[in-house]
Structure 1
Amino acid sequence: MTALVTALAWTVAGIVGGLTAHAGLNAARWLRRPPNRATVREPVAVLLPLRDEADRVTPCLRALLAQRGVPELEIVVLDDGSTDGTAQVVRAVAGDDPRVRLLSGAPPPAGWLGKPYACQQLADRAGPAATALVFVDADVVLAPHAVAAAVATLRTASATLLSPYPRIVTGSAAERLVQPLLQWLWLTFLPLRAMERSARPSLAAAGGQFLVLDRAGYRRAGGHAAVRDRVLEDIELARAVKRAGGRIALADGSTLADCRMYRSWSELRDGYGKSLWAAFGPAAGATAVILLLLLLYAVPPVLAVVAAFGGARTAALGGLTGYLLGVAGRLVSARATGGRGWPDVLAHPVSVVLLGWLTVRSYHLRRRGRLSWRGRPVR
């Protein structure tokens, strides 16, 4: 039995070591880094969908108004049925700035979810001259050069869609445990160079907080109408772009944008609840993925402690090695994307366990038809 446990511990450590090395290769060689400064001469439309964002839209909109390096910039804001005075806040912040247009959104028709329909309305109403579309969420605060640098990177990459992942800002302990997993997962498990080169729609990733698209390519992909009923409309839009013959790219957006997605445990829990079932697909596949993640990242420290107390030193060393390699992978991700390092990375096994619980909860709520977001059911 001891020999079997030892073999398992070192096998897991070897796999985790390989994944950490892959994350390091992605970060060092394949992750795109936008320029510190850029100027773009093409017309750009920044599109901002809002639903009950009165308490957080001000810094976002002020950052948009402070953009540099984009002489032909328009900012189109859509108030999607807010009941908290969001439109009034937008008017107060924008004043009489001619670059800003505030639209009143229509309720989503049958077959549409709220955010895809809001984004489609924005894209339809963007000025006809705009050749690049930049979708931004209200919880994102852009650096003054962000739009110009992101559009320049889109063109340099010869891409149809660019996803510059913002720096994740966290406050509570729950946020610090869960939120960094977003970048860690794609940096560890997604081959970035192969993703860019491959035409396979299944090999795609994107973050809807900050998306940059070539407008003509967006139209060829069908726009948000192509993902009208998708909870993860960002990833599905990236897949639609690939199906239409376009190219997608990821970039480290930590110098371009900050994003605090959730401000409480209940927001985080419900936000992941509405989407994790869609991220993992069928329940059987999700079960296999979560069990594998637990085996690779949660079991090693437990095994190390149990084996040490049982006198199985070699097995304990294998478990400790696997744990430390997992921590190293989380640290690589944090360093590459502007996230928190020590001491947060030491709790990586707890993060993975919490992700597993959130995933199980998401599937449970979906089966019972209890998923909702911002007052709208998610079906």
Structure 2
Amino acid sequence: MIGVLALLVAVAALTAHTWVNATRWLRRPADRPVEVAEAVAVLLPLRDEATRVAPCLRALLAQRGVPRLRIVVLDDGSTDGTADVVRAVAGGDPRFTLLTGAAPPPGWLGKPHACHQLAARADPAATALVFVDADVVLAPYAVAAAVAELRAARVTLLSPYPRIVVATAADRLVQPLLQWLWLTFLPLRAMERSPRPSLAAAGGQFLVADRAGYAAAGGHAAVRGKILEDVELARAVKRAGGRIALADASRLAACRMYADWPALRDGYSKSLWATFGHPGAAAAVVAALLLLYAAPPLLAAGALLAGAPAVAAAAFAGYLLGVAGRVVTARATGGRWWPDALAHPVSVAFLGWLTLRSYHLRKRRHLTWRGRPVG
């Protein structure tokens, strides 16, 4: 019983931390018309995105509140006609530039190299750089609001996290864990104030950077070989003396990260090993997550069958507190919670399996993404 109560207290404390982060410390850029006077460059790297880039481009071309906006797109060796789709959608808009990317040199991964090329070719007058992925669709004032929040927060790098669009059962099990993990385990206020590079998080789907601070941190050249280039860029900013912040941009941006289960599985597998680093650390973290969030419903069922209703009640309360953390996260980030949050133990088990798969594939040197080796 003591062990079950200890689990209950631990989950309760983590869920309380989730609530404090979500209600007190999570930044929320304005979702109303905003105007910024500074020059802004929106930078979009593309590789084989012909089937899904059009909504992203149309949303970029429809941005308001940024009179000095320039959009730079880089076609990174696409073989599916991505560049043709980009030209057709852009339609000769004078704010728009399409670049043909060079192959990444030794020591570089594809996305950092693409972003490096984009930053180098951005309008020299631009004082803010906005990196966007092809699967992100922005609201009309998203860029203006994000840049305004960057300046209001007085940070070098702002990560406005989009609303994650879920469509399949796999999406609903796995994708909400992204926001849940950082809202539950990352002290947002301390992350903003602390200079420690280890206390950093960012999402590369939508990133806003002060150009001078980005350059001082070394830009994407500083993270050239990193699979988690977004998080590593945040750490580089901190090492250079800058500050970072996360924000909820669920009212400003939406993102459908993966089209199907194989893409989702492979997308997480390519990077989870880099999230945890040493396999021993990964094993410890996954074991703790399984103990805290997957074990309680099993313990509750076992205790009920063994005729220990008090233990069953405590374990079931632990399960409900874990579900409550998912509900808080969903409501704070524009996600769906019913009935998805009830399957939180299954979601955590999926994360454990994906982590194991990631290390297994890396050990066998089978990790690739978009036709390029990544680990």
Calculate the TM-score normalised by the size of structure 2.
Answer: 0.99
CA-CA distance at 1:9 after TM superposition: 1.4
The structure 2 residue matched to 1:34, chosen from 16, 26, 29, is 29
Percent sequence identity is 74
The structure 2 residue matched to 1:349, chosen from 337, 345, 351, is 345
Q: Deviations over 1:106-141 (max 9, x none)?
A: 000000000000000000000100000000000000
In the other structure, the counterpart of 1:57 is 53
| Corresponding residue SS for 2:158 | strand
In the other structure, the counterpart of 1:3 is none
In the other structure, the counterpart of 1:97 is 93
User: In the aligned structure 1, how far is the partner of 2:83 from the partner of 2:162?
Assistant: 25
The structure 2 residue matched to 1:204, chosen from 200, 204, 207, is 200
| Corresponding residue SS for 2:17 | helix
In the other structure, the counterpart of 1:11 is 6
2:224 corresponds to 1:228? yes
CA-CA distance at 1:105 after TM superposition: 0.1
2:307 corresponds to 1:311? yes
2:77 corresponds to 1:81? yes
2:121 corresponds to 1:120? no
Calculate the TM-score normalised by the size of structure 1.
Answer: 0.98
User: In the aligned structure 1, how far is the partner of 2:146 from the partner of 2:8?
Assistant: 38
The structure 2 residue matched to 1:273, chosen from 260, 269, 276, is 269
CA-CA distance at 1:10 after TM superposition: 1.4
| Corresponding residue SS for 2:140 | coil
- The one-letter code of the counterpart of 1:16 is V
- Superposed, 1:149-168 pairs within 5 Å as 149-168=145-164
Q: Deviations over 1:154-210 (max 9, x none)?
A: 000000000000000011100100000000000000000000000000000000000
In the other structure, the counterpart of 1:258 is 254
User: In the aligned structure 2, how far is the partner of 1:103 from the partner of 1:110?
Assistant: 21
In the other structure, the counterpart of 1:241 is 237
Q: Deviations over 1:295-322 (max 9, x none)?
A: 0000000000010011101110111000
2:19 corresponds to 1:24? yes
Coordinate RMSD, CA, aligned: 0.4
User: In the aligned structure 1, how far is the partner of 2:321 from the partner of 2:5?
Assistant: 11
| Corresponding residue SS for 1:32 | coil
In the other structure, the counterpart of 2:366 is 370
The unaligned stretches of length 5 or more in structure 1 are 1-5
CA-CA distance at 1:289 after TM superposition: 0.1
The unaligned stretches of length 5 or more in structure 2 are none
Q: Deviations over 1:60-89 (max 9, x none)?
A: 000000000000000000000000000000
